[in-house]
Amino acid sequence: MWEGVDDLLDIQSPRLKEVADNVSAKSVGDFWKGVHETGSPLIEDINHQGQHLITFLYQEVEPLDNVVVLLGPAGLDYARNKMEKIAGTNIWFRSYLVHEDAKFQYLLSPNDPLTYPIDMLPDLEKLAEREAGFIIDPLNKWPYPINNPIVSTVGMDANDLTIIKKSLKGTYETFSIWSDELKNKRKIGLYIPQHIDMNNTVEMLTFLDGELNPDLIPALNIIDALIQAKQIKPIVVALVDSIDREKEMGCNQQFSNFLSNELTAYIEEKTSIKLGHDNCICGFSMGGIGALYTAINRTKVYKNALMVSTPLYWSPQDYKESEYLSWYIAHKQTKPANIYIECGKMEDHSEFQRFFGGTSNLLSNRHLRNVLIAKAYKHRYYEYEGGHDFIQWGDSLERGLLYFYGIKKFT
């Protein structure tokens, strides 16, 4: 029989309590048979209104010292999120209460050393070695992305996984562009929707970190579907690949000049499209800083900024406090920009942010919202039931585009 760890556990899961109260080879075998059929984690209703109990599981094959849950409701506190083991079984588990609409990604770490990877920054090689022990949940039925899974997920549905397979109705091409501002060349993807009116001005979405499309965020498929369904007006999309993310996205005037001057001029010349003045720049994570900084400084080109899960605790090295961009906006004249912000409610963990001397993503985004209110910026703020999750960011993109370009706004 399996060795025990602790037989005095506070087990909240009704299904696990049944096993713990009657431990036998049969009860354990039947339990794992059911999990293999339905998938992990266990999702149970325990009469908490609007919430479910999520229980992450690990089936021990060889003896283990520990198993840790990462991301989602667990965050990155390794010691706090260790699983427990039901004595006399090979069942490791840890439970969390989450909102019934929660949608998030997670990983597991068997035999975790319980050291914080962030303490290894800026040595990215050591950081990669530390994270090499993270695994997807072998019992999870919704790994993502489908072509090369790197995370396990909760709350996904078939459309999330299949939208990438839908053919684009518009045209898409890639090309390289040289920047005199940045002294580098980068890949640009350009999507032009079907039946666009070339005789009138059109709006463009500049999507930072374009390499996220299509595997991590199927941006073009999402936009194409919204246009075909007549939910948003047709827009041109420029996917801009990143080269040095923190340098370029971190309030970099040269990068903003490239996006506002060189990129737009090249696209107009290449396609004969005349861009309008209601363009949007979109960034996820660090890209959100680049998007907002560009919008408030180049409003005549990018009136709209769409920013999601932005690490607003970030500051440049020569600024001695955190949250530089919020400070910058607070001390700058209000511009006629329109800003759409989203952040996950599960981003309220400060384990990563403490390296920068700041607070959590969630709290720093709420702070920016308050700054925008005080500065009388037009904006919309939304918190979703998830974490710093690219499985959420496609939904965020859709909501943001409906806010800026939704057909209902114009009818």
Q: Would you kindly state where each structural domain of the chain is located, as residue ranges? A: 14-154, 160-409
362-401 pLDDT tens trace: 999 999 999 999 999 999 999 999 999 999 999 999 999 9
Helices (H), 132-241: 158-162, 219-228
Task: Read off the pLDDT of each residue in 165-194 and give the average, rounded to a whole number.
Answer: 96
DSSP 63-121: --S-EEEESGGGTT-TTTTB-EEBTTSSEEEEEEEEETT--EEEEEEET-----GGGGT
Task: Read off the pLDDT of each residue in 237-257 and give the average, rounded to a whole number.
Answer: 96
Q: What sign does the dihedral 330-335-338-339 (CA atoms) show?
A: negative
Q: Dihedral of the CA atoms 87, 91, 97, 102 (nearest 10)?
A: 170
3-state secondary structure (DSSP) of residue 369: helix
Determine the Cα angle at 152 with ends 77 and 36, to 5°.
115
Of all residues in the chain, the percent with pLDDT exceeding 70 is 94
* pLDDT at residue 354 greater than cutoff 70: no
Q: Cβ neighbours of residue 213 under 8 Å, at least 6 residues apart? A: 189, 207, 219, 220, 239
Amino acid in position 309? S
* pLDDT at residue 410 greater than cutoff 60: no
Task: Read off the pLDDT of each residue in 54-72 and give the average, rounded to a whole number.
Answer: 96
**Residue 239: closest CA among 334, 326, 147, 175:** 175
Structure tokens at 358: 């700041």
129-163 pLDDT tens trace: 888 999 999 999 999 998 899 999 999 988 888 88
In whole angstroms, how large is the CA radius of gyration of the chain?
A: 23
Give the Cα separation of 94 and 106 in Å (integer). Answer: 13
* pLDDT at residue 119 greater than cutoff 80: no
The residue whose two tokens read 């666009």 is: 196
Give the Cα separation of 232 and 408 in Å (integer). Answer: 8
Task: Read off the pLDDT of each residue in 33-41 and give the average, rounded to a whole number.
Answer: 97
* pLDDT at residue 69 greater than cutoff 60: yes
CATH hierarchy code of domain 160-409: 3.40.50.1820
Fold match between 14-154 and 160-409?
Answer: no
Give the Cα separation of 106 and 116 in Å (integer). Answer: 17
* Residue 255: predicted pLDDT: 98
Q: Cβ neighbours of residue 409 under 8 Å, at least 6 residues apart? A: none
Q: Does domain 14-154 have CATH number 2.60.40.10?
A: yes
118 pLDDT band (50/70/90 cuts)?
A: low
Categorise residue 190: left if φ over 0, alpha if ψ from -120 to 50, beta otherwise. Answer: beta
Q: Cβ neighbours of residue 317 under 8 Å, at least 6 residues apart? A: none
Q: What pairing do the DSSP bridges indicate for beta strands 184-192 and 171-179?
A: antiparallel
Contact 65, 3 (CB under 8 A): no
For the range 313-321, what are the long-range contacts, defined as Cβ-Cβ under 8 Å and sequence gap of 24 or more? 313/353, 313/356, 313/357, 313/358, 313/359, 313/360, 313/361, 313/364, 314/250, 314/286, 314/289, 314/356, 314/358, 315/356, 315/358, 316/250, 316/251, 321/357
